[in-house]
């Protein structure tokens, strides 16, 4: 009698299916091409939707004229300063309320009471207190960054393995060194999660604040050209914001890989 042969194949091969690298570009390229065609043959008026090529050309002209430079530096100044202040305060206070029990009892209710307020609602108040200049805008961004960072830092501190604290103390660390050498590095992955979250928030607040009260800046530029119905210039502003967000995210990811080479 002939023996029956049944080969067993890997039935979950689809789990590690490889996709060629250019696949990710296909979707975006497809949309751009479609968009260009729709605009070129005049299905949609360029007033509502200018062609991508048109946006790029307009963008180049604005770059050469120095218009982008002025607005971009104004925006960058606000977001970089606001983000830096908010992140630094968030990490510091997060570490403190995460580590010291008394600070936790006092600080946590305050943080959670203020956290749910949509920060942009506070802008009129800040303008009243701090004037219409840069300070109120930087403050609102710093505040928006502060909360996601402080909350993530806090839970990062709480998630540090207590064994590591015991080990550090056993080998002679005082409290400050426990925070510096154990709690901070241990909380770093969570801190970065907070920083990434805050990057989106900061961009949102930047644009909102600039639309409400600013002469210069990408946000006010977008609003300005919207009012004038110069859609292609408006789209350049949107494009810059999208690039800004992308660069921000990439920079943070680069920094994370630099600072946390030990991560699983």
Partner 1 sequence: MSIVIENVEKTFIDSKKKEVTALKDINFTIEEEEFVVLVGPSGCGKSTLLNIVGGLLSPTSGSVYFEGIKESNPNLGIVFQEIALFPWRTVFENVVYGLQERGVSKKQQQEIGNHYIDMVGLTDFKDAYPKQLSGGMKQRAGIARALAVEPDLLLMDEPFSALDAQTRTLMQEELLTIWNRTKLSTLYVTHNIEEAVYLADRVIVLSRHPGQIKEIINIDLPKTGRNDEKYREQSSKYADEIWQLIRHDAEAALKE
Q: How far is CA 155 from CA 55, 98, 151, 183, in A?
A: 44, 7, 6, 11
The reply on whether position 95 binds partner 1 by CB under 8 A is: no
Q: At what angle do helices 231-259 and 67-99 cross, to 10 degrees?
A: 40
For partner 1, the binding residue among 47, 117, 167, 246 (CB under 8 A) is 167
Helix or strand or coil: residue 257?
helix
260 binds partner 1 (CB under 8 A): yes
Q: How far is the CB of 154 from partner 1 (least distance, A)?
A: 20
Residue of the chain from 89, 164, 193, 239 that contacts partner 1 (CB under 8 A): 164
Our finding on whether 161 is near partner 1 (CB under 8 A) is yes
163 counts as binding partner 1 under rule CB under 8 A: yes
Cα–Cα distances in angstroms (integers) from residue 34 to residues 27, 31, 52, 224, 243, in the given order: 11, 5, 10, 28, 21
Give the helix/strand (H/E) hosting 232. helix 231-259
Structure tokens at 87: 């992140």
Whole-number minimum distance, CB 161 to partner 1, in Å?
Answer: 7
Q: Which residue, 188 or 195, has its beta carbon nearer to partner 1? A: 188
CB-wise, 182 or 209, nearer to partner 1?
182
DSSP state of 117: S
Give least dist CB 151 to partner 1, A.
22
Interface pick for partner 1 out of 40, 175, 181, 250 (rule CB under 8 A) = 181
Residue 261 contacts partner 1 per CB under 8 A:
yes
Measured CA distances, 217 to 28, 204, 240 (Å): 28, 13, 11
221 is an interface residue for partner 1 by CB under 8 A: no
193 binds partner 1 (CB under 8 A): no
Round to whole Å and give the CA distance between 125 and 129.
6
Smallest Cα–Cα separation from 149: which of 100, 82, 216? 82
Residue 105 buriedness (CB in 10 A; 0-12 / 13-18 / 19+): exposed
Q: Does 44 bind partner 1 (CB under 8 A)?
A: no
Among 52, 186, 200, 226, binds partner 1 (CB under 8 A): 186
Residue (188 or 190) nearer to partner 1, CB: 188
Selected binder of partner 1 within 61, 103, 185, 239 (CB under 8 A):
185
Residue 191 found at the interface with partner 1 (CB under 8 A): no
Q: What span, in angstroms and rounded, lies between the C-alpha atoms of 246 and 253?
A: 11
Count of residues that bind partner 1 according to CB under 8 A: 22
Q: Which residues of this protein are in contact with partner 1, per CB under 8 A?
A: 161, 163-164, 166-173, 177, 181-182, 185-186, 188, 260-264
């Amino acid at each position: 009698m002939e023996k029956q042969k049944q080969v067993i194949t890997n039935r979950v091969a689809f789990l590690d299916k490889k996709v060629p690298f250019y696949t990710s570009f296909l979707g975006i390229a497809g949309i751009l091409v479609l968009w260009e065609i729709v605009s070129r043959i005049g299905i949609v008026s360029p007033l509502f939707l200018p062609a991508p090529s048109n946006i790029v050309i307009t963008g180049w002209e604005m770059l050469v004229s120095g218009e982008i430079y002025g607005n971009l530096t104004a925006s960058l100044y606000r977001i970089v300063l606001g983000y830096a202040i908010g992140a630094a305060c968030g990490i510091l206070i997060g570490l403190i309320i995460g580590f010291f029990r008394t600070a936790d009892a006092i600080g946590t209710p305050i943080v959670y009471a203020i956290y749910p307020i949509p920060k942009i609602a506070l802008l009129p108040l800040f303008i009243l207190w701090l004037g219409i200049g840069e300070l109120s805008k930087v403050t609102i961004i710093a505040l928006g960054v502060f909360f996601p960072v402080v909350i993530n830092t806090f839970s990062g501190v709480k998630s540090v393995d207590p064994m590591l604290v015991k080990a550090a103390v056993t080998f002679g660390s005082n409290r400050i060194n426990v925070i510096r050498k154990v709690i901070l590095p241990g909380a770093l992955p969570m801190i970065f999660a907070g920083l990434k979250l805050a990057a989106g928030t900061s961009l949102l607040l930047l644009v909102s604040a600039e639309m409400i009260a600013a002469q210069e800046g990408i946000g006010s530029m977008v609003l300005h050209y919207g009012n004038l119905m110069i859609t292609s210039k408006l789209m350049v502003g949107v494009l810059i914001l999208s690039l800004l967000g992308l660069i921000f995210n990439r920079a943070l990811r680069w920094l994370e890989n630099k600072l946390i080479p030990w991560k699983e």
